[in-house]
């Protein structure tokens, strides 16, 4: 599936087998300020290097309900972070999913456990965060948790936007599933992944400083899907964000975590929802998408890196 309302339909061996490719796109200045007021004609979207005719949906469509899965690392080494993470549970409903959306909460360590099925009830979401407790000391099966979250998102209505937020370390610890397989699953399902990460083993957790840490830059978020394995050797969270059009931020204090969560909520509800009908092609594998804006050549553009046609 490409995204909100469009199913993939198999046709024949020389076509993309996709009726419509949806490309939620975030545009900011280098300073991180959101750039609004753009029209469809301002965007240059290419599919494997071929420019596509782009449509931009109306505000009513952009405001389609959000289906969100929040993944929370619950390893014993995450104990200091969990104290901060529990405080952002009340932010999920008003800032991220809104009145019409729904959220589910998953915790992961040596196991993957669903603490809350999809709900729009802000109290249930908050209580799910509060009930997460540390377990196994170091294991944190991030990739296995992402796969489980994608299965849950796959049950949601097709007109819902499918989003994941990861609150944990930037790397996986012990998953059975492979990163490349998980990225392909996210690409096929049209899931956008945002990661808010911390260093569980760093000295930062002993610091009393209230200064916010610097956030990673957004440059070059449109990485080729073929580079996923290379990216994973450095940072699993960054690989998922770049491949799906999401974002990877880090946090240190409760204040910086709350600011990052508020920022993600703002971006999610300020995206441009672009779409195009792919031209005929013999490529039945991953298609690389690039999005640029001619009149803002220095803008930071984040969009999904590619899509997979069904065979």
**For 31, which DSSP code?**
T
Query: Torsions phi, psi of 204, nearest 5?
Result: -60, -30
Question: Do the Cβ atoms of 120 and 99 come closer than 8 Å?
Answer: yes
Examine residue 12 and state whether it is found in any structural domain, yes or no.
no
Examine residue 78 and state whether it is found in any structural domain, yes or no.
yes
**CB proximity list for 177: less than 8 A, separation 6 or greater:** 143, 144, 146, 147
Question: Do the Cβ atoms of 113 and 80 come closer than 8 Å?
Answer: no
Question: Do the Cβ atoms of 212 and 253 come closer than 8 Å?
Answer: yes
Distance CA 230, CA 220 (A): 15
Shared-domain flag, residues 298 and 185: no
Examine residue 146 and state whether it is found in any structural domain, yes or no.
yes
Question: Do the Cβ atoms of 58 and 5 come closer than 8 Å?
Answer: no
Shared-domain flag, residues 140 and 214: yes
> What's the pLDDT score for residue 127?
98
> What's the pLDDT score for residue 191?
92
> What's the pLDDT score for residue 58?
59
H/E run at residue 291: strand 287-293
Shared-domain flag, residues 95 and 216: yes
Examine residue 205 and state whether it is found in any structural domain, yes or no.
yes
Query: Within 10 A of 113 (CB to CB), how many other CB atoms are there?
Result: 15
pTM comes to 0.78
The dihedral through the CA atoms of 238, 30, 191, 257 has a sign that is positive
CATH of residue 195's domain is 3.40.50.410
Task: Provide the pairing of β-strand 192-197 with 248-250.
Answer: parallel
Examine residue 16 and state whether it is found in any structural domain, yes or no.
no
CA angle 7, 307, 102 (to 5 degrees): 60
Examine residue 226 and state whether it is found in any structural domain, yes or no.
yes
> What's the pLDDT score for residue 22?
83
H/E run at residue 76: none
Q: Which domain holds residue 235?
A: 64-268
Shared-domain flag, residues 41 and 100: no
- Number of domains, the chain: 2
Shared-domain flag, residues 227 and 88: yes
Shared-domain flag, residues 186 and 242: yes
Regions in the chain scoring below 50 on pLDDT: 1-18, 59-62, 203-233
**CB proximity list for 311: less than 8 A, separation 6 or greater:** 10, 17, 284
Examine residue 237 and state whether it is found in any structural domain, yes or no.
yes
Distance CA 247, CA 24 (A): 13
């Amino acid at each position: 599936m490409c995204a909100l309302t469009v199913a993939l339909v198999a046709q024949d061996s020389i076509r993309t087998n996709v009726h419509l490719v949806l490309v939620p796109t975030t545009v900011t200045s280098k300073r991180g300020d959101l750039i609004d007021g753009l029209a469809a004609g301002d965007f240059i979207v290419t599919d494997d290097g071929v420019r596509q005719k782009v449509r931009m949906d109306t505000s009513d469509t952009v405001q389609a309900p959000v289906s969100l899965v929040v993944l929370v690392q619950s390893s014993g080494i995450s104990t200091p972070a969990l104290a901060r993470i529990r405080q952002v549970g009340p932010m999920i409903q008003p800032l991220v999913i809104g009145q019409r959306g729904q959220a589910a909460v998953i915790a992961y360590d040596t196991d993957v456990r669903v603490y809350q099925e999809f709900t729009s009830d802000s109290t249930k979401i908050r209580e799910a965060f509060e009930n997460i407790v540390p377990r196994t000391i170091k294991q944190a099966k991030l990739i296995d948790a992402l796969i489980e979250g994608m299965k849950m998102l796959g049950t949601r209505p097709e007109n819902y936007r499918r989003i994941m937020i990861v609150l944990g370390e930037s790397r996986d610890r012990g998953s059975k599933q492979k990163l490349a397989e998980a990225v392909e699953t996210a690409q096929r399902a049209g899931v956008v992944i945002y990661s808010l990460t911390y260093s569980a083993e760093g000295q930062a957790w002993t610091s009393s400083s209230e200064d916010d840490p610097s956030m990673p830059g957004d440059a070059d978020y449109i990485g080729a899907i073929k580079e996923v394995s290379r990216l994973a050797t450095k940072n699993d969270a960054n690989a998922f964000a770049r491949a799906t059009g999401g974002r990877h931020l880090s946090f240190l204090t409760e204040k910086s975590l709350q600011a990052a969560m508020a920022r993600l909520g703002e971006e999610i509800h300020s995206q441009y929802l672009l779409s195009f009908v792919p031209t005929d092609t013999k490529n039945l594998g991953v298609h690389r998408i690039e999005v640029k804006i001619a009149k803002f050549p220095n803008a930071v553009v984040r969009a999904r890196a590619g899509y997979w046609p069904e065979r």
